[in-house]
Structures are given as structure tokens and as C-alpha cells.
Amino acid sequence: MKEKTVAELKQMMDEGVDFQLIDVREEHEFDMANLNGELIPLGNLIIEAEKIRKDVPVIVHCRSGSRSAAAINELEKRFGYENLYNLKGGIMAYSREIDPSLTVS
């Protein structure tokens, strides 16, 4: 599985790279802290898969990287995505390494 580090994500954001950020956590987690990605909870992923682009890199994240890895495996298997990247360490790593003001539980 392809991965991006939080430093790579921050660089992409800073440079204005065209990519899509998908957050597969639950709504209450998203409401507490988010990276301004598009919320598609893991349970809704298959029915909302058409929202996920195939023409740009797509970084998928969750709290720690486990749910997003499961999401990527399912999307690649069912829909043939080849442009998905798991955010290594999830939003917890982003909070720890990039933005300590994010409150992630």
C-alpha cells in the first residue's frame, strides 16, 4: 500500500498541489478535529465511492492509519483505484508532528 507521511501531506497543502483528502473517521471525530478533508465515514465508503476522484492523488486518513488502510484495500479491490495513499499515522501523527493545536482523542 502506498503511503504519504504527514510532512509530505503538509508540503502538498503548502504548495497547492491538486489532490483530494478523504477522512474516513466518524462525524463526531471529524467535528472535534479535522484536516479540512472530505468526510466519508468508513461505513459509508462503498455507497459514496463515486465522490472519490481517480484523476488526482487521493490521501485517505483516519485517527491512526488503520481504518484508512482498510478503506484503501476495499476501494482498490472493488473499484480498481490506483491513486490512493494512506496517511501514515493518521491525524494523530499530524497533530503530534505538524499541528499540536489539533485535539485528537
What is the side-by-side order of every strand in the sheet holding 20-23?
A: 3-4, 84-87, 58-61, 20-23, 38-39
Please count the CA atoms within 13 angstroms of the CA of 96 that sit on its side-chain side: 11
- Catalytic member of 59, 62, 72, 84: 62
96 in active site? no
25-29 long-range CB contacts below 8 Å, 24 or more apart? 25/62, 25/63, 25/67, 25/91, 29/63
Distance separating alpha carbons of residues 96 and 28, to the nearest angstrom: 20
**Residues known to be catalytic:** 62
